[in-house]
A and B are shown apart, each in its own frame.
Chain A
Amino acid sequence: MAVITYRDALNMALREEMQRDDRVFLMGEEVAVYQGAYKVSKGLLQEFGEMRVVDTPITELGFAGVGVGAAMVGLRPIIEFMTWNFALLALDQVVNAAAKMLYMSGGQFPMPMVFRGPNGAALQLGAQHSQAWESWLAHIPGLKVVAPSTPYDAKGLLKAAIRDDNPVCFLEGEMLYNTKGEVPSDDYVIPLGKAEVKREGEHVTLVSHGKMVLVALQAAEAMAKEGVSCEVVDLRTIRPMDVETITASVNKTNRCVVVEEGWEVCGVGAQVVDYVQRHCFDSLDAPVLRVHQADAPMPYTKSLEKAAKPDLPKTIAAIKQVLYLD
């Protein structure tokens, strides 16, 4: 099996799905001639032409709405946001149009479309370019929200998102684009709404998604050296969330730490904690702890940025705390 980057896995998914279904098109800033701000769409213009790989003006609200209109009349748009930070300008289309059209039309207009782009902080990009938006999007009924952590998942989940007849918000990791992993060249999809146990363990469950899954796996590796066995649950899809996999794991380990990139208040982890307290109350041996970004806008200052971000030491500290090891 070929080892390729997360970026190339996404590119492979786009190419395969555009070959498979000529209603699928890609639209966004710099996706065509420039070959993608992060090169995810490299080569697609050459293969599919300018009607199916469409450069837009810098007009997020506008081209998100173009996607909504195209989906209403039978096309299957993939709308790329150069980053999800810019998608805030387009949220009226995502939330008020895409997510609600099926409902308020009494079931007449499914919205088969994908909004995708990098999410979360990279390095020293400052406050406006370093944000994780999944809790905002996951709040909305009518949307699906997906965040792949590995190249294998990136390909399989993006293909599933494109084939889904609902609006899917697909959150890629800017810091994951260069990560590598085994990716089959054949046609596979990973079902949306299913979490995956990325590492089995006995003593504590680490629930995470996207980039932070890698941190959770590193923490599990480090803790193994101290005789602690961590189970790592990768949500893969944040909405709908796979409550069954989370609670089955916590009922087995009796302890849980949630690791996410976003802010604490009303974050994805808060929802995980709610499910855990409802379904695992009697099996919990410690309060569930959360690892997340500090409750501040992201600073540019290198040392402050490091202090703000959830990371390996913070995750290990939380694991030790739920195990009463300190």
Chain B
Amino acid sequence: MSATKARKKGEAATVAATESAAPAASDAALNRDLLYSMLMQRRFEERVAEMYAIGRIGGFCHLYIGQEAISTGFCAVLRPDDYMITTYRDHGQALARGMTPKAVMAELFGRQDGCARGKGGSMHMFDKQLGFLGGHGIVGGHIPIAAGVGFAIKYRGGDQVIVCFMGEAAVNNGAFHEALNMAALWKLPCIFVIENNRYGMGTAVERASAIHDIYKRGASYDMPRGVVDGQDVHAVRAAAAEAIERARKQSTPTLLEIRTYRFMGHSMSDAVSGTYRTKEELEQYLKRDPIALHRQRMEDAGEISEADVAAMDEEIKKIVQESIDFAEQSPELPLEALMEDILVETTS
């Protein structure tokens, strides 16, 4: 579709922004921050996989590796008083939003210094101070909650926004449609971000959704919408900036489909390539690693040297190791905590 061709009002703006977003890597300091954030998420989760393998982390554990440009691009634009809500694939987003590696690792270890005192675990990271409203474990369940946060912002007359991350498989769930309808109907400051990593567990998007261009679902609600290259952190950041601006200034929701790829299995319990995709496909996508692409761009622009990257990598690995040491030493909650946090005693 050409840029000059008449489009529905919803599609025009975001697609244009996406097209113009790609280079624009003028700010070396910003680029460095983006690289640091993505690399932190990657190194952190590589060690998480290791800790899972030796039994330090239990339960379900879903890695974000390959998708780091999305959390990073959005968090680069969000204000501290904005809100985020996400799925069970939440470690990278928690780190990108500013949770410390120690708080996230201790949570993964189920220890009392974790961000939810160890009671949440991998799928339920929360941080009230950061407006991080949780990792949620029921596919689609958190999308209406995001609409509710948008409603509350509007109710109070604030200019914050909420970004709601979800996988592409969630769009086949009723909760998605119920939430998008209300957000559009009531003009709520919500940004619905579909991280299309191509697979809902082991089911390819083409086997689950009647529409393969997922962002077109937004048309049902006349919602501004667009598709973004999720391996390009600048493309994500530009699309995020535009959608967030629209929510903040015009209290209008946006639906963004961010195309990415899950480099690992659905969770720690399945093989990396699995029975549902070929090794060749995986290898093709691995060539577009968001960290490698961003780093290459910085190197080409002379913003960073190989030695700089190596030093950054070493620093990050050290911080991640410290988070593991911290988590190891943090105790589990005492048994009386079992019956705490069920109800509060207060009234208003």
Binding site for B on A (CB under 8 A): 21, 25, 51, 56-57, 59, 61-77, 92-93, 96-97, 101-110, 112, 141-142, 144, 160, 163-166
Contact = CB atoms under 8 A, between A and B. Distances in A.
Nearest to B153: A73
Contact of A107 (B117, B136, B152, B153): B117
Contact of A106 (B118, B346, B347): B118
A73 B148 CA distance: 9
A57 B149 contact: no
Interface in B98-130: 114-120, 124, 126-128
B276 interface: no
B141 A96 contact: yes
B148 A104 contact: no
A59 B175 CA distance: 9
Contacts of B141: 65, 92-93, 96-97
Contacts of A144: 343
A66 B348 contact: no
B347 A163 contact: yes
7 contacts: A68-B145, A72-B145, A106-B118, A106-B119, A108-B126, A110-B344, A142-B343
Contact of B341 (A57, A72, A103): A103
Given A65-B145, A66-B148, A106 B343 contact: no
B326 interface: no
Interface string B152-191: 1111100000000000000000110011011001000000
B134 interface: yes
Contacts of B1: none
A97 B179 contact: no
Contacts, number: 153
B244 interface: no
A108 to B, nearest CB: 4
A25 B155 contact: yes
Nearest to A65: B144
B121 to A, nearest CB: 8
Nearest to A144: B343
A110 B346 contact: yes
Contact of B348 (A77, A92, A109, A165): A165
Interface in B43-81: none
Which of A56, A72, A74, A144 has its CB near the most chain B CB atoms (within 10 A)? A72
Contacts of B127: 108
Given A64-B144, A72-B145, A103 B342 contact: yes
B179 A65 contact: yes
B83 interface: yes
Among B141, B155, B175, max chain A CB count under 10 A is at B155
Contacts of B320: none
Contacts of B124: 104-105
Contacts of B114: 106
A160 B175 CA distance: 31
B138 A142 contact: no
A68 B144 contact: yes
Contacts of B145: 65-66, 68-69, 72, 93, 97
B344 A165 contact: yes
A274 B128 CA distance: 40
B316 interface: no
Given A56-B182, A62-B182, 18 more contacts: A25-B155, A51-B154, A59-B182, A64-B144, A65-B147, A65-B148, A66-B144, A67-B148, A68-B144, A72-B133, A73-B133, A92-B138, A102-B343, A104-B119, A104-B120, A106-B116, A163-B348, A164-B348
B126 A61 contact: no
Given A101-B134, A166-B344, A65 B126 contact: no
Given A57-B182, A63-B182, A64-B144, A104 B344 contact: no
The 9 nearest A-B residue pairs measured at CB: A69-B148, A65-B144, A62-B178, A106-B117, A106-B116, A66-B148, A105-B126, A69-B145, A107-B341
Nearest to A167: B343
A141 B140 CA distance: 23
Nearest to A56: B182
A104 B134 CA distance: 9
Contacts of B156: 75
A172 to B, nearest CB: 21
A186 B162 CA distance: 40
A3 B145 CA distance: 40
A70 B341 contact: no
A51 B151 CA distance: 9
Contacts of B151: 66, 69-70
Contact of B116 (A21, A96, A104, A164): A104
A266 B138 CA distance: 26
A97 B179 CA distance: 15
Nearest to A162: B348
Given A76-B348, A105-B116, A70 B126 contact: no
A76 B347 CA distance: 11
B203 to A, nearest CB: 21
Nearest to B162: A69
B147 A66 contact: yes
Given A73-B83, A107-B117, A109-B126, A62 B343 contact: no
A65 B143 contact: yes
A73 B144 contact: no
Nearest to A17: B348
Given A25-B155, A65-B175, A69-B152, A106 B341 contact: yes
For A72, A102, A104, which residue has the most chain B Cβ atoms within 10 angstroms? A104
B152 A73 contact: yes
Contacts of A165: 344, 346-348
Contacts of B94: none
Nearest to B179: A62
Contacts of B175: 61-62, 65, 92
Contacts of A25: 155
B340 interface: yes
Q: Which of B83, B85, B156: most chain A CB closer than 10 A?
A: B156
